[in-house]
Chains A and B, each alone.
Chain A
Amino acid sequence: MRQAAINAVYELAKRDPRIVFVGSDLGIGTLEKMKQEMPDRFYMEGVSEQYMIGMAAGLAMEGFIPYLNTIATFLTRRCYEQIAIDLCAHKLPVRLLASGGGAVYAPLGPTHMADEDIAILRALPNMAVVAPADAPEMKRLMEASVAWDGPMYIRFGKGGDPVVSSDERGFAIGRAIEMRRGDDVAFVGTGVMTNRALAAAELLAKDGVSCSVLHVHTIKPLDSNAILAASARARLLVTVEEHTRIGGLGSAVAELLVDEGVSTRVLRLGFADAFFADYGSQDDIMRNNGLQPDQIAARVGEALGLPLPALG
């Protein structure tokens, strides 16, 4: 997913002279071709996130469209004030390419994991927040991102994530995608959790539970109509995210339902309100938090009060 996004910057930059790349201290050889072919639009600025954001704001004020890349948690916590004021208050078209959203950097420990990035970015006026499901969808998003009016946070998965998106379903920023139809349960997922939701829906189908899956790649602006439509059909709405349960997709959905007076029951699945106490892999962290497909299915069954023999 990261590779798809970084490659897309180069391809977009070839077509559009406004596009600039800004990295912090990325791996050697990153975008080498762009550096060689467009040296005045390739910047590697070092371990200085606050400066990077301000500098990108200055470039954007002059008509450029900077794409910034560094590790998600450093790109959000460290320079939050710069994002709020330099980017959001000025409504500048800067794209924040966030490597390692959620638990991708599990082996590196909690200092490197981004589990509240969606919450804090979503709280900022003018900021769009997008988490694609897989590499092909990242490519579609990158194409669409050029014309977006304002700052955008783009959350990367681990890479090699199962491909669940497709050209046929199309892609538009702010428009959720119906991945599966069903009547009993409506899953609402974002990022790579959509593939876990699809797998959980498959497991539940074996027990006769019919599930829809709505892929909300854009958490802000939220596709209210699609979520309200999904909730209207279902007995239970289940949000699934690789993020703390505080402030992310589940919160956004719950806020919407409360505001609209919708009383559909909501099960919000995500990380516990705690710093990660384990290493291992992204999958290990998911399992610790009950976010693998079998666990999701079991929690849904429990919420519905159903005995689920196929899961047993």
Chain B
Amino acid sequence: MALAQVRPGTTVAELDARSRYFRKLIVDALEGGKRGHVGSALSLVEIVRVLYDDILDVRPGEPDWEDRDRCILSKGHGCLGLYAVLADKGFFPMDELLRQCTSGALLGGHPEAHIPGVEASTGALGHGLSIGVGLALAARMRKRSHRVFVIMGDGELGEGSVWEAALGASKHHLDNLIAIVDYNKMQCYGPVNETTVLEPLADKWEAFGFSVREVDGHDVAALQGALTRVPFEKSRPSLLIAHTLKGRGFDFAEQNPEWHHKSKVTPEDVALMREGLARV
């Protein structure tokens, strides 16, 4: 397949075996639960993979461990990406993935705080960064050294509460707060820039007091490099713009709004995705 672009003039990193493995888990979950936000989960796989593989100090067997790094998936609809990684890490049994969204299941269509490894219930957009500010302030007040990570979507940045929280984070100089934008440039209706003009996005966050870096959000090494260097600056909250592709890994779904959310995943969809996996 032709290499897709994350930004004009750039190409997206190839997916390695572990990234393909997480996509297989997501397809398994879609087949089991027969629904899910497909594209929104696929764009953030490498972000959550790198966080949980390399960055976050967490204990899957002790999810409420007091000194853990906190991570909130504020774009809660991307939860299949998070669930795949949490299941792989052993926060809950892998079987739970296959039952997602069904009656009696542990996992629903958006993350909830009762799920091991999930810090806060999200799904209504624009909540995560405010909660993150509270968590980061609390860490400072209690003289703890853990960090707080918040993953937001680009469409989510239309919520005014995100910018209220940004004002608070920079006022309090929260350098233990790291926000990540999964900038896949597509929202439910189509291209983000046709619905909400976000550019110049890095400048906006800089103006709000964040120290900003940009990275190819599918490049594992680049994500590792950026996220191991947080805070980007002392006394300022960090913001990483991860340039991604919605539906990354499946050529038919990439940047295709039809794959933003599937409320009825058919056997044909599953077959298409399994064939797609073989091509990646």
Interface residues of A (CB under 8 A from B): 40-41, 43, 45-46, 48, 50-64, 81-82, 85-86, 89-90
Contacts and interface: CB of A to CB of B under 8 A. Distances in A.
Interface in B122-141: 124, 126-127, 129-141
Nearest to B121: A89
A62 B133 contact: no
B120 interface: yes
Given A58-B137, A85-B124, A89-B121, 10 more contacts: A51-B161, A54-B127, A54-B161, A55-B131, A58-B131, A58-B136, A60-B134, A85-B121, A85-B127, A89-B112
Contacts of B126: 50
Contacts of B133: 51, 54-55, 58
A58 B127 contact: no
Contacts of B134: 54-62
Contacts of A51: 130, 133, 161, 164-165, 167-168
A18 to B, nearest CB: 10
B169 to A, nearest CB: 9
Contacts, number: 93
Interface residues of B, number: 28
A59 B168 contact: no
Contacts of B139: 62
A269 to B, nearest CB: 36
Nearest to A47: B164
Nearest to B125: A81
A54 B124 CA distance: 12
B104 interface: no
B113 interface: yes
Contacts of B165: 51, 54-55
Contacts of B119: 61
B267 interface: no
B130, B139, B141 — most chain A CB neighbours (10 Å):
B130
B142 interface: yes
B134 to A, nearest CB: 2
B200 interface: no
Contact of B164 (A48, A60, A64, A85): A48
B267 to A, nearest CB: 35
Contacts of A85: 121, 124, 127
B160 interface: yes
Given A40-B141, A62-B139, A50 B121 contact: no
Contact of A45 (B120, B121, B142, B168): B168
Interface in B23-66: none
Contacts of A62: 134-135, 138-139, 142
B61 to A, nearest CB: 21
**Interface hub of A53, A60, A62, A82 (most chain B Cβ within 10 A):** A62
The residue among A55, A64, A82, A89 with the most chain B CB atoms within 10 A of its own CB is A55
A84 to B, nearest CB: 8
A90 B121 CA distance: 8
Question: Chain A interface mostly helix, strand, loop or mixed?
Answer: helix
A59 B164 CA distance: 17
A199 B161 CA distance: 45
A56 B154 CA distance: 24
A64 B168 contact: no
A48 B121 contact: no
Given A81-B124, A85-B121, A55 B168 contact: yes
A250 B129 CA distance: 38
Which residue among A54, A63, A64, A90 has the maximum number of chain B CB atoms within 10 Å of its CB?
A54
Contacts of A50: 126, 130, 160-161, 164
25 contacts: A40-B141, A45-B168, A48-B164, A50-B126, A50-B161, A51-B165, A54-B127, A54-B130, A54-B133, A55-B133, A57-B120, A58-B131, A58-B133, A58-B134, A58-B138, A59-B137, A61-B131, A63-B138, A63-B142, A82-B161, A85-B121, A86-B120, A86-B130, A90-B113, A90-B120
A133 to B, nearest CB: 33
Most central of A51, A56, A81, A89 by chain B CB within 10 Å: A51
Counting from the closest, the 10 A-B pairs by CB-CB distance are A58-B134, A54-B130, A62-B138, A51-B164, A48-B164, A50-B161, A55-B134, A58-B135, A58-B131, A59-B134
A231 to B, nearest CB: 39
Contacts of A53: 130
Given A81-B124, A85-B124, A90-B113, A54 B131 contact: yes
A103 B126 CA distance: 32
Contacts of A52: 130
A187 B141 CA distance: 47
B121 A82 contact: no
A55 B131 CA distance: 5
Interface in B62-83: none
A135 to B, nearest CB: 30
B164 A86 contact: no
A46 B167 contact: yes
A78 to B, nearest CB: 10
Contact of B135 (A61, A81, A89): A61
B135 A82 contact: no
